[in-house]
Amino acid sequence: GLRSTPVGLQLLPTSFLGFETFANAEAPPGLVLTYLDEEPPHFNHTCPASQTLSALPNASSAVAFWVPPTAVDNRAVLSVSSTHMPGDSFAITTGAGLGTEVVYVAHDTSGNAAHCTFYVRVEDEQPPQLQCPQP
C-alpha cells in the first residue's frame, strides 16, 4: 500500500500517486508530503504451472509453450522480464531435478518487484538403440 509521512496527518491511500487526498484535514502551509509506494506489482493471472514434457524423437530437447503472466500495479508497471519465452527449447532434465527454472520479474516505477517462477522438465522417453556391426 501507500504510506505517507510525516506522522500526524492521516492520509487516504490513492491508486494514483501525485493526487493528495486528505481525511478531514488540511495540509499546513509549507508542509511537504512524501508518498512511498511500498506495494509491489503482482501477476493478475497465476503463474503458469510447472510442466513435464517428453523430448522430441531423436532429440535432446523439447519445445515448451505457456501463456505469459501479466503484471499489474497500483501505480505503473515499468518492466517485465523473463529468463525464457514461450516456444523456447529446453534440454533434457538430468537426474531427479525439477527441470529448468523459468522466472518472470515485474518492476514498478518505485523499484518494487514481484516474481513468478515455474519449471519445465524434459524427460527422455526414447529407449536407446543399439546397432551391432555386421558380420
SS (H, E, C) the chain: CEEEECCCCCECCCCCCCCCCECCCCCCCCCCCEEEECCCCEECCCCCCCEEEECCCCCCEEECCCCCCCEECCCCEEEEEECCCCCCEEECCCCCCCCEEEEEEEEECCCCEEEEEEEEEEECCCCCCCCCCCC
69-97 pLDDT, tens digit per residue, is 998 888 888 889 999 999 999 999 988 88
- CA 110, chain centre distance (Å): 16
Q: Are 121 and 93 in contact, with CB atoms under 8 Å apart?
A: yes
According to the model, what pLDDT value does residue 110 have? 85
The pTM for the full model equals 0.69
> Given this model, what pLDDT does residue 93 score?
94
**How confident is the model at residue 8, as a pLDDT?**
39
Residues of the chain with pLDDT under 70: 1-30, 32-35
